Amino acid sequence: MAIGKGHHLHLIDGSGFIFRAFHALPPLTRKSDSLPVGAVSGFCNMLFKMLEGNTGHDAPTHLAVIFDHSAKTFRNDIYPQYKAHRPPMPEDLRPQIPLTREATRAFGICCIEQEGWEADDLIATFAVQARDAGARVTIISSDKDLMQLVGGGVEMMDGMKNVTIGPEEVEAKFGVGPDRVVDVQALAGDSVDNIPGAPGIGIKTAALLINEYGDVESLLARAEEIKQPKRRQSLIDNAEQIRISKRLVTLEQHVPVEVGIDAMEVQPLDPETVLPFLAEMEFRTITNRVAEKLGAKAPTIDDTPANAPAMDEPDMPPIDPSKYEIVRDAEALQIWIDRIHERGYVAVDTETTGLDEMRADLVGICLSVEPGQACYIPLAHVNGTGDLLGGAERSEGQMDFDRALQMLKPVLEDPAILKILQNAKYDIKIFARLNVTVAPIDDTMLISYAQHAGLHGHGMDALSERYLDHKPIPIKELIGAGKKQITFDQVKIDDAAPYAAEDADITLRLWTALKPGLIPSRTTTVYETMERPLVPVLVQMERHGIKVDRDHLSRMSNSFAQKMAGLEHEIHELAGRKFNVGSPKQLGEILFDEMAIEGGKKGKTGAYGTGADILETLAALGHDLPARVLDWRQVSKLKSTYTDALQEHIHPETGRVHTSYSIAGANTGRLASTDPNLQNIPVRTEEGRRIREAFIAEEGNVLVSLDYSQIELRILAHIAEIDSLKQAFRDGLDIHAMTASEMFGVPLDEMTPDVRRQAKAINFGVIYGISAFGLANNLRIPREDAKAFIDRYFERFPGIQKYMDDTKAFAKEHKRVETLFGRRIHTPEIASSGPRAGFAYRAAINAPIQGTAADIIRRAMIRVPAAMQAAKLPGRMLLQVHDELLFEVPRDAADDLIGTVREVMEQAHLPAVALDVPLVVDGGTGANWAQAH
DNA sequence: AGAGTCACG
DNA sequence: GACGTACGTGACTCTG
């Protein structure tokens, strides 16, 4: 049947896809012969997803994969240098190219390439033919060169991210609609494809010109009218080059194609061809999935290395949630406990009524001792939702809660049995509230984090999809979402069991997949000395919490509310009408349209910027409204985020606030604090500091704060080997004043606060991967001045330049950097081009410094409990704020505590790393956090 | 859900 | 040569 209305053609940019898959996916090799197959695997997964219609789009009725043909094209005749700068294909990718063609045929999909034409031209031709016949077209590619085809029933989709690219996305990228994309490309050129364009004109400027003049020819005809001399000259001088560029970027829509679209009609998968191919590639998971879908038997895969003895590896059956056992009585549980003792380890996962481990109740426990073998032990399921007067009735077929716990406690506490968990801190806290101490443990989240920080997230879903090629059952399918959401105890046991047990199964599989990687990646020490031992320490801190004075917060809230009302009234008067002060959009319109204040700048979303820096500039020019808005915003922030929200977080039973630290959240090794975030409690303004007064000690106790002084700059001095800086730290000098003196030649005793402030900004800038632009912005000085500062800084402290260059080179080569303690932080984006690479470079420069500081305080925290015990110190560690630790301790023990903990903190780097600079810790004591700090 | 804004180190 | 840029986080509000 001929293609037409109601049909949907998918055109896959084959070369583009495998190139991206190669760079985005971990380097997978075929087990039997180490043939690299990562990109092929990604390609097969994408094909299968597409055929299933599992992409957020409907399934295609017609489908083809289009490849580039390696021979030259008409573009080389027009412009011999076309794509001349392409780097050679990576060695590991080369053998995968023919395999992707094979894969396409194995899936029964039309595979197209044609001599003399790029894939893009063929895609253009087919897309236009299908569109004109009335069919829908989706191009699977993220190549910007194809964006000119979008519109009128043609859309694009990013095959890796499943993101749709329509006319709006094209406009966002090029500043013009799809029909004018080639004109913008012709002007802006493209360094990757070596399209010359007009020198001095980038995408932004090009879009501006095209929007005003229409297209390249009209623009060139009226080039004389352009005001900016540089632009005008560039257009006049390069007119021919621009015309050539346009021909290069314009896709040929009328290639005399050798294959018709009707031949692309989707055929049912043939098990006889697709399964043998997948098995030959040794893609276990997708082989099983495809076999299951076809109702065929999956072929056995022999991936024994050809010239190595058969390995005694645990067999990994496919994940099948219908096979898990539900444990309903003591006899069944005892069998599992026996198996655990036999094995010596067990994967454990808990199901609870919520995400807040201080309030959620245990509903069930899952165990797994072997991939594919897992059980669910329901303990507190109920029928229905209950009512206001009483709880719902307990479901049938569950073990007695206490009896189960009584049986499991010895196993969970057995020092000879390893408990394997994903995000162990959560489950440990749940068990701790039931008086069960879980130890020893392994945590798959942290095993992943130690090896792969910066490469991907470390949640179970992400890890499972990446390393097991399996998407876990979404919890939403059981408990729903939004208003109608129920808690896990209300889920029927038969529904809950497959979901719950699957998590234990997955955790165990992740452990077998990830743990062996620690040794070759040299991250065992990081995991064993800085990740895993931190878990029990954080459990103690989080469970203990910090006392917060609700009345103090409540009083502040009221006073803030009054203040806001007053400011709001003033602001409305100044604006001449009422509007929502909290809406940046409305504020921008008031300021820059209605009041017609100069200097309004619209960002990429088309809204005016109204950030604090912009409003400050306006306020300094004498405008009252922005000044009042700044005041209002400050008060509003303090009220909503701190005085109001913090009260909600006071635990009804403990009367304290219990934050939760994420150990694997920040790429650099820092912790992050959530629910609530206690690492960003105000301190910089007087008014904000009063919120710290609400953090108090229990009667008879005090709060003690100990913080590292200038730890990141000290680490910089050490890593970059800057002698003068190191000496200054040894001499205990004011480091910013010393920097200023060194740079500007001002003697220390004549130092002015302003000169010191500038030097301080530069010191921090260096840690952040300095740029003239950034420093200029920060100091509000011209960029040339900032550039001069930086040059002088590099001159005075030559080690810095070397450190930055060495770090960049290392990052570029290895796609990662390291801390002094061996923590790896990956920076994969360093391989990209454009602004993303810039971000990656600055992050790479910052990460070893921020990360080493994070390592040091982690080591200190891990040592503190034992040190306090040895010194027989009462009191507790409560909070960590990156370079500060906060304790609560009986008043008369405060001085001893400071002595003991300071010692631990100042020596925390030893014996692993010797520093050329001393670490210095300042301490303070007080009835509340404001006083202690 | 994402952008904008702002609190911290 | 242009582009867009200080590093790392989390929470709240508005808006589509």
Q: Is the CB of A457 under 7 A from strand C?
A: no
| pLDDT of amino acid A84 | 77
- Distance from residue A98 (CA) to nucleotide C6 (C1'), in Å? 45
Q: Is the CB of A807 under 7 A from strand C?
A: no
- Distance from residue A353 (CA) to nucleotide C10 (C1'), in Å? 24
Residue A717 half-sphere exposure toward CB, CA atoms < 13 A: 22
Q: Is A885 among the domain residues?
A: no
Q: Is the CB of A931 under 7 A from strand C?
A: no
Query: Is it the case that residue A314 has pLDDT exceeding 60?
Result: no
A712 closest-nt by C1' vs CA: B9
- Euclidean distance between CA atoms A802 and A13, whole angstroms: 42
State CA A882 to chain mean position distance. 19
Query: Is it the case that residue A834 has pLDDT exceeding 80?
Result: no
Predicted confidence band of residue A308 (pLDDT cuts 50, 70, 90): very low
The mean pLDDT value for A207-233 works out to: 89
The mean pLDDT value for A29-56 works out to: 85
- Closest residue (CA) to C1' of nucleotide B5 is A611
- Strands of A82-182 (E only): list them: 110-112, 136-140, 154-158, 163-165
Q: Is the CB of A202 under 7 A from strand C?
A: yes
pLDDT tens-digit series, residues A495-504: 999 999 999 9
A674 closest-nt by C1' vs CA: C10
Q: Is the CB of A529 under 7 A from strand C?
A: no
Domain total of chain A: 3
- Euclidean distance between CA atoms A424 and A444, whole angstroms: 8
- Strands of A15-114 (E only): list them: 62-66, 110-112
- Closest residue (CA) to C1' of nucleotide B8 is A680
pLDDT tens-digit series, residues A122-147: 999 999 999 999 999 999 998 889 99
- Distance from residue A569 (CA) to nucleotide C12 (C1'), in Å? 22
The mean pLDDT value for A249-277 works out to: 92
Q: Is A62 among the domain residues?
A: yes
- Euclidean distance between CA atoms A474 and A480, whole angstroms: 10
Query: Are both A163 and A16 inside the same structural domain?
Result: yes
A605 closest-nt by C1' vs CA: B3
Q: Is A231 among the domain residues?
A: no
- Euclidean distance between CA atoms A796 and A790, whole angstroms: 10
| pLDDT of amino acid A489 | 95
Q: Is the CB of A670 under 7 A from strand C?
A: yes
A768 closest-nt by C1' vs CA: C7
Q: Is the CB of A200 under 7 A from strand C?
A: yes
Query: Is it the case that residue A869 has pLDDT exceeding 50?
Result: yes
- The candidate with the shortest Cα–Cα distance to A40, out of A93, A118, A119, is A93
- Closest residue (CA) to C1' of nucleotide C4 is A835
| pLDDT of amino acid A56 | 67
- Distance from residue A671 (CA) to nucleotide B1 (C1'), in Å? 26
Predicted confidence band of residue A346 (pLDDT cuts 50, 70, 90): very high
- Distance from residue A294 (CA) to nucleotide C11 (C1'), in Å? 48
- Distance from residue A680 (CA) to nucleotide B9 (C1'), in Å? 8
In chain A, the N- to C-terminal Cα span, in Å, equals 78
| pLDDT of amino acid A98 | 86
Residue A770 half-sphere exposure toward CB, CA atoms < 13 A: 28
- The candidate with the shortest Cα–Cα distance to A589, out of A564, A566, A610, A565, is A610
Predicted confidence band of residue A62 (pLDDT cuts 50, 70, 90): very high
- Distance from residue A112 (CA) to nucleotide B7 (C1'), in Å? 55
Computed on alpha carbons and rounded to an integer, the radius of gyration of chain A in Å comes to 32
Question: Do residues A705 and A885 lie in contact, with contact meaning Cβ atoms separated by under 8 Å?
Answer: yes
Q: Is the CB of A356 under 7 A from strand C?
A: no
- Closest residue (CA) to C1' of nucleotide C9 is A672
Query: Are both A331 and A447 inside the same structural domain?
Result: yes
Query: Are both A562 and A509 inside the same structural domain?
Result: no
Q: How much is the mean pLDDT over chain A?
A: 92
Query: Is it the case that residue A254 has pLDDT exceeding 90?
Result: yes
On strand C, nucleotides with any atom < 7 Å from a protein CB are 1-16
Comparing A115 with A127, which gets the higher pLDDT?
A127
Predicted confidence band of residue A389 (pLDDT cuts 50, 70, 90): low
Which of A647, A666, A694 is where one domain is finished?
A: A694
Q: Is A85 among the domain residues?
A: yes
Q: Is A190 among the domain residues?
A: no
Query: Is it the case that residue A627 has pLDDT exceeding 90?
Result: yes
Query: Is it the case that residue A850 has pLDDT exceeding 90?
Result: yes
**What is the number of H-type helices and E-type strands within chain A?**
38, 25
Q: Is A474 among the domain residues?
A: yes
Residue listed under structure tokens 């529904």: A495
Question: Do residues A874 and A675 lie in contact, with contact meaning Cβ atoms separated by under 8 Å?
Answer: no
- Closest residue (CA) to C1' of nucleotide B2 is A605
- Distance from residue A693 (CA) to nucleotide B7 (C1'), in Å? 16
Could you tell me the two tokens for A161?
């991210």
Which of A634, A662, A694 is where one domain is finished?
A: A694
**Which phi and psi (to 5°) does residue A68 adopt?**
-75, 145
- What is residue A704's three-state secondary structure? strand
Could you tell me the two tokens for A384?
């229905």
The DSSP string of A810-877 is HHHHHSEEE-TT--EEE-GGGGS-THHHHHHHHHHHHHHHHHHHHHHHHHHHHHHHHHHHHTT---EE
The mean pLDDT value for A898-902 works out to: 97
Residue listed under structure tokens 């700059």: A713
Query: Is it the case that residue A306 has pLDDT exceeding 70?
Result: no
- The candidate with the shortest Cα–Cα distance to A916, out of A657, A751, A719, is A719
Q: Is the CB of A641 under 7 A from strand C?
A: yes
Query: Is it the case that residue A315 has pLDDT exceeding 70?
Result: no
Could you tell me the two tokens for A545?
């919490």
- Distance from residue A583 (CA) to nucleotide C13 (C1'), in Å? 8
- Euclidean distance between CA atoms A893 and A284, whole angstroms: 61
How far, CA to CA in Å, does A219 sit from each of A170, A206, A207, A208, A599? Answer: 21, 10, 12, 11, 29
A629 closest-nt by C1' vs CA: B5
Comparing A302 with A37, which gets the higher pLDDT?
A37
Q: Is the CB of A676 under 7 A from strand C?
A: yes
Strands A701-708 and A921-926: antiparallel
- Distance from residue A450 (CA) to nucleotide B1 (C1'), in Å? 30
- Closest residue (CA) to C1' of nucleotide C7 is A768
Query: Are both A469 and A376 inside the same structural domain?
Result: yes
Query: Is it the case that residue A371 has pLDDT exceeding 90?
Result: yes
Comparing A82 with A522, which gets the higher pLDDT?
A522
- Euclidean distance between CA atoms A148 and A205, whole angstroms: 19
- Euclidean distance between CA atoms A502 and A510, whole angstroms: 12
Predicted confidence band of residue A843 (pLDDT cuts 50, 70, 90): very high
CA-based max dimension of chain A: 91
Percent of all residues in chain A with a pLDDT value above 90, rounded to a whole number: 74
Query: Is it the case that residue A44 has pLDDT exceeding 70?
Result: yes
Question: Do residues A921 and A905 lie in contact, with contact meaning Cβ atoms separated by under 8 Å?
Answer: yes
Q: Which residues pair with A151 in a beta bridge?
A: A154
- Closest residue (CA) to C1' of nucleotide C11 is A641
Lowest-confidence pick of A186-200, A493-507, A693-707: A186-200
Torsion of CA A298, A304, A310, A314, to 10 degrees: -50
| pLDDT of amino acid A540 | 97
Predicted confidence band of residue A298 (pLDDT cuts 50, 70, 90): confident
Strands A701-708 and A8-13: unpaired
Lowest-confidence pick of A144-148, A161-165, A232-236, A427-431: A161-165
Residues 295-354 of chain A sitting with CB below 7 angstroms of strand C: none
* Residue A526, H or E segment: helix A524-526
Q: Is the CB of A911 under 7 A from strand C?
A: no
Query: What's the CATH number where A454 sits?
Result: 3.30.420.10
Q: Is the CB of A579 under 7 A from strand C?
A: no
Query: Are both A520 and A608 inside the same structural domain?
Result: no
Q: Is the CB of A677 under 7 A from strand C?
A: yes
Question: Do residues A465 and A510 lie in contact, with contact meaning Cβ atoms separated by under 8 Å?
Answer: no
Which of A244, A264, A284 is where one domain is finished?
A: A264
Query: Are both A485 and A582 inside the same structural domain?
Result: no
Q: Is A271 among the domain residues?
A: no
A882 closest-nt by C1' vs CA: B9
Query: Is it the case that residue A916 has pLDDT exceeding 60?
Result: yes
Residues 389-418 of chain A sitting with CB below 7 angstroms of strand C: none
Query: Are both A464 and A413 inside the same structural domain?
Result: yes
- Distance from residue A608 (CA) to nucleotide B5 (C1'), in Å? 13
Query: Are both A571 and A687 inside the same structural domain?
Result: yes
- Euclidean distance between CA atoms A486 and A489, whole angstroms: 8
The mean pLDDT value for A426-446 works out to: 97
Query: Is it the case that residue A161 has pLDDT exceeding 90?
Result: no
Across A281-298, b (16+ Cβ under 10 Å) vs e yields: bbbbbbbbbbbeeeeeeb
- Distance from residue A834 (CA) to nucleotide C4 (C1'), in Å? 9
- Closest residue (CA) to C1' of nucleotide C2 is A202
Burial classification of residue A452, based on how many CB atoms lie within 10 Å of its CB (0-12 exposed, 13-18 middle, 19 or more buried): buried
Query: Are both A404 and A259 inside the same structural domain?
Result: no
Query: Are both A344 and A481 inside the same structural domain?
Result: yes
* Residue A382, H or E segment: strand A382-383
Its domain, for residue A340, covers: 321-532
- Euclidean distance between CA atoms A281 and A156, whole angstroms: 29
- Distance from residue A224 (CA) to nucleotide C3 (C1'), in Å? 26
Question: Do residues A128 and A139 lie in contact, with contact meaning Cβ atoms separated by under 8 Å?
Answer: no
Query: Are both A527 and A552 inside the same structural domain?
Result: no
Query: What's the CATH number where A36 sits?
Result: 3.40.50.1010
Burial classification of residue A393, based on how many CB atoms lie within 10 Å of its CB (0-12 exposed, 13-18 middle, 19 or more buried): exposed
- Euclidean distance between CA atoms A914 and A911, whole angstroms: 7
Q: Is A821 among the domain residues?
A: no
On strand B, nucleotides with any atom < 7 Å from a protein CB are 3-9
State CA A150 to chain mean position distance. 30
- Distance from residue A23 (CA) to nucleotide C4 (C1'), in Å? 24
Query: What's the CATH number where A598 sits?
Result: 1.20.1060.10
Contact residues for strand B with beta carbon within 7 Å: A 584, 588, 603-605, 607, 609-612, 615, 630, 633-634, 637-638, 641, 679-685, 688, 850, 881-884
Query: Are both A498 and A565 inside the same structural domain?
Result: no
A688 closest-nt by C1' vs CA: B7
Q: Which residues pair with A394 in a beta bridge?
A: A382
- Euclidean distance between CA atoms A216 and A201, whole angstroms: 13
A188 closest-nt by C1' vs CA: C2
- Distance from residue A550 (CA) to nucleotide B1 (C1'), in Å? 33
Could you tell me the two tokens for A260?
């018709």
- Distance from residue A678 (CA) to nucleotide C6 (C1'), in Å? 25
- The candidate with the shortest Cα–Cα distance to A493, out of A366, A593, A315, is A366
